[in-house]
Amino acid sequence: MQKYYTYIIQSVKDESFYIGYSSDLEKRIMIHNSRLSKYTSTKTPWKLVYFEEYVNKSDAIKREKFLKKQRNMMFWISAKYSQKNPK
């Protein structure tokens, strides 16, 4: 049975995160670290910090989108509260 993964990797270079999904997690991490992925090529090396396993591709994609949305939401919330209040 085919398995799918939603994963989070972290750049050792600048500690940024990348969220993705794949049917071959080991190969996908290798691709990120081989600079074959356009978005992550400048921030190598990457380390796997979290993953979830799914039997359905659509579930893995839904989870990836959810995690990305949460990350973006937290960014905007923190940006809003870090600004000085106008007088």
Q: Which domain holds residue 33?
A: 4-82
Q: Check whether 87 has a pLDDT greater than 80.
A: no
Tell me the residue type at 72.
N
Which one has a higher pLDDT value, 37 or 24?
24
* pLDDT band (50, 70, 90) for residue 83: low
Domain CATH code at residue 18: 3.40.1440
With beta carbons less than 8 A apart as the criterion, state whether 44 and 87 touch: no
**In-domain check, residue 63:** yes
**In the block, which residue shows the tokens 């081989």?**
34
pLDDT at 21 over 50: yes
Residue partners of 46: CB distance under 8 A and separation at least 6: 9, 10, 11, 12, 18, 29, 32, 33, 40
Domain count, the chain: 1
d(C-alpha 77, C-alpha 26), whole Å: 34
**Domain annotation covers residue 41:** yes
Distances (CA, A) of 22 to 73, 78, 80: 24, 30, 33
Indicate whether 56 belongs to any domain: yes
* pTM, full prediction: 0.82
- CA dist 87 and 85 (Å) reads 6
Specify if 23 maps to a domain.
Answer: yes
**87 in a structural domain:** no
